[in-house]
A and B are shown apart, each in its own frame.
Chain A
Amino acid sequence: MYQQQYQQPPAQQQRQQQQHGGGQDREPIDPFQARQLYRNELASLTFNSKPIITSLTISAGENASVSKVIVQTIEERLRTAPANQKLPTLYLIDSIIKNVGGPYLNLFARTIVTLFLDAYAVVDSSAKASFEKVLGTWPNWTSQLFPKELITKIEQGVRAMRQQKQGSYQPSSSHGKPHYSDRPREDPYSQNASNMYGNSGSQNRPTPPPAPVESSGDNGLLKDIQLLMLQKQHAMIMNPTDQASAKQVGILQQLESLVKTTQLTPESSNIIRQQLAQLWTPAPAPPVLPVFPQGGMPAVSSPMPPNMIPGSMPPLQPPQPPSMPLPPNLPFPPPHFPPQFQPGSTPSPHMMGAPLPMPIPPAGIPMSGGHPMPIPPPSMPMPMPPMPMSTMPIMPTMPTVPTMPNAPAPPTLPGAPAANLFASLMQSGLLGPNGALAKLNRNPQSPMGGTPPPPMPLPLPLTSAPGPAPTPPTLDRADQSEQDRSVMSLGLIELSSQDIQRRRPAAIQVMYGTPPLQCNQCGYRCPKSADAQKKMDSHLDWHFRQNRRMKDKAKKSHSRSWLVGEEDWIHSREGDLSQSQQPVFFDFASGVNKTSKDEQALQEEIAAMKEQIVSEVTLAKGLCGDDTEANINASALIAKGCSICKEKFIKVWNEAEEEWSYKNAVAIDKMIYHATCHADLVRSTARQAAAAAAANAAAATATAESISTSSPSSSTPPTGPELSDTPTTAQMEIKDEDMKEDIKTGLKVESDQQAPEDIKMDHDMHPAAGATDSDLPTSLKRKLEIDNEEQSESASKKSLLSENL
């Protein structure tokens, strides 16, 4: 496949050669240009073409001084290319590291794990095989391409994904699966990380459906858990900041040990299994797991599972920027933070991100009938960088209202499958004060050496985030867009000079929310809403139109038009992007289809007409019509032929009627035509009428600010006082050169027109028409002009001139 030969178009080769030449000539190479050039060249790599890959490889070799830019460009390409075009890009990387090496090895090494696995995750199975083949060549290459551990990491990732793929287990959707969770959703943090550093792709690509759980019994369940754990661990490796996965892994480990050590009833294992199903991606790893931000838990240093030590995370990821944007959809975090929750007091990201094993004794939290005391979270994480905010608890805003730990978790909370897991486990009695887990925890042999009491109530309050939130009383949230909500969730900011100065990190997030839709041509972000995609599409359409017009710029000059009048301004509305018309070519396409269909029908009709025979008697009747007196010699008329084309009619003997008949003949209005000729005439008349109607409609809508097509010139009629008395003289339009010689009307014309020739000269107006011109509303005036144009189009200029004379 890789070696597949491809005949490259000569033009393309030439272009590439030019580019190479250019690359050599320029010293030093401008990174901007290099990027541009390489990107252009790369854009042609849409299929597996050895010549292009070779050429790109050579290009990379020649421009090693800008290797950084080239690597960035290739990475970008691999990330953004459609799934079916990723393989050639991988081949290119493969080719560069093997043939060029040098700086490229180190540069690619930084991101190859994520790059490879992200791409691998989305390509189809045949491409996957090719990916694996390429990967297979790396460890044993003559020189070391990448450090062993990187390749191992990729291999592990590939294996994990392969295992998942083999399964047919489908996450059940009947499960109150968060309905928005199947929308691909980027981890806000990872997205931002890629913004910041431009080198990491989105980490949470949808992975293939997870592994099956065919086997029943605890072994099957155990396997499920382990598989899921593997997947989550992979996600963690891919994205060390993925709090959700980290937490999930922690939970899964608990579950694993639970299942190992406990005899589960079939019901409980079913429930666990169902919950597990929800944890599987493809719903990409939820942005956050709102597990324990409350009740002092995170502050208590939690024992970390052995394989979850932060240090074991790949060092490839860039360090966390200290303050990260927060997702915009905060479900009403508190308006004001208690002072003790200021940034300084927050625990470290790793602390927050560390998986929290379930059986942690919630030290110091007294239990009262299963309801936790509403303890203000010590880690109000508003200014906390990696703590995604989308599931921030509402607790702090309502410190006096106890949350209800036993309330069923709202199933549609985005990104809370793990919380759901807990909720359901709890409901099933598996987890909870008297549940299996609780028992387990009391069991001295429990792996964690669990100490009572169980921490069960902790996750729950979080899942009730959209619950009794401190909604401003006037808000009707149903009507609010996500965006409005995020704005309001900041708490009403008082328009006072003091309140304005307060730092609200979440406010930045309102502006730079996580909507995944951002225009790459101008930075326009599409606010998150139901029709965001539509809006973005129309925004891109707008760019498309603008760009197309830009291209036309050379052909057509643009200018500023006159401003509208006051009334028009008051009543006009700026064109809303979303309402703007569809790109023209769609209409065009449908128009074409329509015409061709009509055309087809027409052809059939004509063919039928041609074969139709009419007897002489019928024709004679048609000629006379109701006028029985008329004595028209039908035979003579018929002999003359068609009145339109003058051709003779074809005479045939009609066997059935035993009379002479004529093919394709029709008698209309005392004339005989070919039926086809007449139909043609009717059609063309209709078309003209339609065109005229359209022109009228256009004229009616033409507004004053539309560019007048008249030529700006003024004329002085020294011998025409009746004209010079009216303002119309200034508006008299001079339309063609012939008029200049028109001495008889006494109009001395000076063509001071300096405008380019492409200005359409208006046609002449008759003096009478001109006199009324100024009194007419602009739209009518415009119509008049069009009418005049049409008139003069039908008549020749000469005849018009003679009329004037």
Chain B
Amino acid sequence: MTLPEPKEWLLDEENELRIEIDFDTKVKLRLVTGTAEVFGTELGQNVDYEFSGRKIAVFTWHGCKILITGTCSVEYIANETPMLSYLNTHIALEQRRVLATQNNKAGPRVLIVGPNDVGKTSLSKMLLSYALRQSRQPIYVDLDCSEGSITMPGCLTATPLTEMIDVEEGFGSSATSAPTAGSAVMPLAYYYGFPSPKDNSKLYSLLLSRLAQSVNRRLEEDEAARTSGIVIDTNGLIDATGYEIIAQCIKAFSVDVIIVLGHERLYADMTRLHQKSGVAVIKLAKSGGVVERDTAFRRQTQNQKIREYFYGTSKSELAPYSTMINFHDIEILQVGEGSLAPSSALPIGEDRKVSETHVVNVEPSENLLHSVLAVSNADKRVEPDILETNLAGFIYVSEIHDARKKLTVLSPCPGRIPKKFWWLGSLKWAED
């Protein structure tokens, strides 16, 4: 086996090596000397890290030498980064945590807002990672339903973090029994099922409140998490709906720090709207390394995410199980949309909004093929509670046997699927 010649990169202090790796290639990265970090997580020296389908920034405070084996589609060194301000932000937050610990108060609750593609998730990761490096146990709240950093796209999640964020896996894989290099996290996930909060803002806000309620309840009990605070990553929505959501977030999570990333007007608005109430509003520049992700890339990331949910990563492979289920043993549900009657058919004066949180049954059919369904933890179908019941996981419909009234699904783990209510969202996945 001949390995491609590794390429050596020498980084001066506070430089950043930015690489983009295609989905079908694998690239090995190794820190030879010096120190370096990827989204806040420090790299070990002479440890090989493998990436595929990622855009990565390797930053060094002290200068370093890096070896890269494999072909990257983009690779360059940048010497202008906003890292200094990111680090200062962390220190400021950490100081609040120290004070919170001393006075037995709540740590900082940080809301990160900004338009799409400014590096909100990366900044969240960095701030969380830094906090973890300081032995904190923050909770990561992901309200970006389009991405699904922790579980799957279409979810609102909260995840307590206790161990360092893995360089290769990102936030770690949720609830695996697999030996992963990173941490196995246990997220709390609620199913929204649409890519944008706009698609069903009523449901979104319902779930947001529920999530905040659970997080707050946990914070009451979990002292380490309480003093460490939370970091909330949001959707890139900055229009009227977006502002509403932000306002709701601030209230629901008692946010006391708003970080506006790469958007001057938003910063001005946030300062105007929220600073008076004792909320600190700061703006941070977006990193030059942030690239606009086109729909294709987002789609591929989504696919990768789904694949990883069932099959794991190359480093820690998972074994999903295929199971055949009778149509009538399960109930497939959908919120609003599917049942929306044309507005002309609505009774006069009836507001369409009413049906936004209306739960309807979906008859299993060929339409379900390749869908990713979310398994609700609910045992009984009680509306509207069932909407706000958190998820047990996801299954993938690999086959429909219409004639036999059965469907074959891929389940993440062996055993029967624990619950019978499954949510259908807009998520589809063509398993390859």
Contact = CB atoms under 8 A, between A and B. Distances in A.
Interface string B370-389: 00000101000000000001
Interface stretch (A220-228, A396-404, A711-719): A711-719
B414 to A, nearest CB: 5
Given A558-B176, A559-B319, A714 B326 contact: yes
A192 B257 CA distance: 35
A30 B70 CA distance: 13
Given A521-B44, A569-B186, A558 B420 contact: no
B88 A325 contact: no
Interface string B79-99: 000001101111110110011
A712 B175 contact: no
A773 to B, nearest CB: 12
B288 interface: no
Interface string B33-71: 111000001111111100000000000011100010100
A616 B326 CA distance: 72
A799 interface: no
Contacts of B317: 553, 557-558
Interface stretch (B197-205, B231-239, B241-249, B276-284): B276-284
A563 B321 contact: no
A561 B32 contact: no
Interface stretch (A193-201, A231-239, A595-603): A193-201
B312 interface: yes
Contacts of A750: 324
Given A321-B13, A512-B35, A520-B44, A493 B416 contact: no
A480 B35 CA distance: 27
Give the contact-size bracket for chain A.
Answer: 35 or more
Nearest to B260: A497
Interface residues of B, number: 106
A726 to B, nearest CB: 12
B323 interface: yes
B320 interface: yes
Interface in A464-519: 474-476, 479-480, 483-484, 487-488, 490, 492-497, 499-504, 507-508, 510-512, 518-519
B326 A730 contact: yes
B415 interface: yes
Interface in B282-332: 282-284, 309-310, 312, 316-326, 329
A709 B415 contact: yes
Contact of A487 (B91, B174, B309, B412): B91
Nearest to A716: B326
A755 interface: yes
A756 B133 CA distance: 41
Contact of A507 (B91, B133, B181): B91
A447 B168 CA distance: 64
B327 to A, nearest CB: 10
A546 B181 contact: yes
Contacts of A26: 2
A712 B3 contact: no
A752 B323 contact: yes
A508 B181 CA distance: 26
A733 to B, nearest CB: 8
B179 interface: yes
A384 B71 CA distance: 39
B135 interface: yes
A392 to B, nearest CB: 17
B212 interface: no
A487 B84 contact: no
A508 B59 CA distance: 12
B88 A754 contact: no
Contacts of A559: 176-178, 318-321, 412-414
B214 interface: yes
Contacts of A484: 98, 101
Nearest to A552: B179
A324 interface: yes
Interface in B1-40: 2-3, 5-6, 13, 30, 32-35
B134 A569 contact: no
A238 to B, nearest CB: 20
B164 A524 contact: yes
Contacts of A713: 323-324, 416
Contacts of A525: 42, 133
Interface stretch (B115-123, B217-225, B335-343, B351-359): B217-225
Contact of A560 (B174, B390, B415): B174
| Secondary structure type dominating chain B contacts | mixed
Contacts of A729: 329
Contact of B179 (A518, A522, A549, A754): A549
B283 A195 contact: no
A493 B174 contact: no
Given A325-B61, A501-B84, A569-B186, A519 B44 contact: yes
Contacts of A124: none
Contacts of B321: 559, 712, 754-755, 759
Nearest to B92: A493
A755 B412 contact: no
B13 A323 contact: yes
Interface in A557-572: 557-566, 569-572
Given A195-B35, A496-B280, A521-B47, A501 B85 contact: yes
B101 A563 contact: no
A448 to B, nearest CB: 39
A550 interface: yes
A134 interface: no
Contacts of A754: 321-324
B411 to A, nearest CB: 7
Contact of B377 (A507, A566, A573, A711): A566
A562 B181 CA distance: 20
A712 B61 contact: no
Contacts of B99: 474
Interface stretch (A148-156, A245-253, A303-311, A700-708): A700-708
A256 to B, nearest CB: 39
B33 A487 contact: no
B102 interface: yes
A527 interface: yes
A655 B202 CA distance: 98
B369 interface: no
B426 interface: no
B312 to A, nearest CB: 7
A563 B391 contact: yes
A494 B414 contact: no
A696 interface: no
Contacts of A339: none
Indicate the member of B98, B312, B389, B412 with the most A CB atoms within 10 Å.
B98
Interface string B163-175: 1100000000111
Nearest to A733: B416
Interface string B404-432: 00101001111111101000000000000
Contact of A705 (B88, B175, B187): B175
A236 B394 CA distance: 63
Nearest to B408: A752
A560 B33 contact: no
Contacts of B90: 511
25 contacts: A196-B34, A479-B102, A487-B95, A492-B92, A500-B282, A507-B91, A508-B62, A510-B94, A512-B35, A523-B43, A527-B135, A550-B179, A558-B179, A560-B178, A561-B176, A561-B413, A563-B393, A574-B186, A577-B162, A712-B411, A713-B416, A714-B329, A730-B329, A752-B406, A755-B323
Given A520-B45, A562-B375, 13 more contacts: A474-B102, A487-B94, A497-B267, A504-B88, A508-B87, A524-B42, A524-B164, A525-B133, A557-B319, A566-B377, A574-B186, A714-B406, A756-B319
Interface of A: 26, 28, 30-33, 35, 192, 195-198, 321-325, 474-476, 479-480, 483-484, 487-488, 490, 492-497, 499-504, 507-508, 510-512, 518-525, 527, 545-550, 552-553, 557-566, 569-577, 704-705, 707-714, 716, 727, 729-731, 750, 752-756, 759
